[in-house]
Amino acid sequence: MSSKFKGRKKTRSRGLARWLYRSAVRIMISVLFIIGLGLGVTALQVWWLKGHNPQRTAWMKMRIAQMKDKKQTVDIKQTWVALKSLPRYVPAAVIAAEDDGFYAHRGFDWDAIRQAAAHNERKGRVRRGGSTITQQLAKNLYLSPERTYIRKAREAVVTIFLERILSKQRILELYLNVIEFGPGVFGIEESAKHHFKVHAARLTVDQACRLAAIIPAPLKSKVTGNYIIRRAERIKRCLDYTQSSK
């Protein structure tokens, strides 16, 4: 092989290497730009929540789409209620039921996550999630219920922004007003009217605990069911009224 041919081959190899390097750099810059743009949009969405109440969440839109697929209609019921207008035991019951470390963590309860992972491993399937109230709020506001790594990553990002931008009280107020309590029933006010025919401000301790007890499975649970009554009793014993006043 002539030295001239070898030189041309080496030049082509160098040219290809430079092209691959530049292409990789462009792709990396594009990916970082898209990630940065996504983070910026998410931060603005969460910042907006400081002074505005969401009207339609991703979870509500999902339920509407599901009903359309079944050729059914669903009337979404949601009436906003301020956290300060609720008896202290209402948010306390929800915290006791769903996230007893709510005021201590910054969005993620690592002990609960480890316990949930160990429980699921023993059962051989996903039975417990270990999600905090903030993580559940992130999912309800912007995401879907699918169990994928991408969705969990997005949930983690939104959770971080919620905890950094909003106060604990605002996170709790949003959560109480957007979570699902039955078919088409969203928020604590409509839940109180749907299940007990009273306004949320008039809920008793027992009623508040029963509503908290149905949060994990709102479409399948009944506040009069034996399991819910037993779970409500356990929640009532765990109530810490001082938490809701922090």
The pLDDT profile of the chain, 246 residues, written as one tens digit per residue, is 555 545 555 666 677 677 776 777 677 776 665 666 567 778 888 899 999 999 899 999 999 888 888 888 778 999 999 999 999 999 999 999 999 999 999 888 877 677 765 655 555 554 456 789 999 999 999 887 777 777 788 899 999 999 999 999 999 999 999 999 999 999 999 999 999 999 999 999 999 999 999 999 999 999 999 999 999 999 999 885 544 444
pTM: 0.81
- CA-based angle 83:87:90, to the nearest 5? 80
Question: Do both 128 and 211 map to the same domain?
Answer: yes
Separation of alpha carbons 68 and 146, rounded Å: 19
Question: Do both 132 and 163 map to the same domain?
Answer: yes
Question: Do both 62 and 16 map to the same domain?
Answer: no
Residue 73 burial (10 A CB sphere; 0-12, 13-18, 19+)? exposed
Q: Which residue has the tokens 């990002």?
A: 157
Structural domain of 16: 1-48
In the structure encoding, which two tokens stand for residue 111, read together?
A: 């002990």
Name the 3-class secondary structure at 182: strand
Question: Do both 87 and 187 map to the same domain?
Answer: yes
Tell me what pLDDT residue 192 has: 97
Tell me what pLDDT residue 81 has: 97
> How many distinct structural domains can be found in the chain?
2
Tell me what pLDDT residue 37 has: 57
In the structure encoding, which two tokens stand for residue 86, read together?
A: 């609720």
In the structure encoding, which two tokens stand for residue 156, read together?
A: 């983690």
Question: Do both 118 and 224 map to the same domain?
Answer: yes
Question: Do both 39 and 92 map to the same domain?
Answer: no
Question: Do both 129 and 30 map to the same domain?
Answer: no
Tell me what pLDDT residue 28 has: 74
Taking the alpha carbons at both ends of the chain, their separation in whole angstroms is: 82
Question: Do both 60 and 4 map to the same domain?
Answer: no
Tell me what pLDDT residue 237 has: 92
Tell me what pLDDT residue 130 has: 73
Tell me what pLDDT residue 23 has: 72
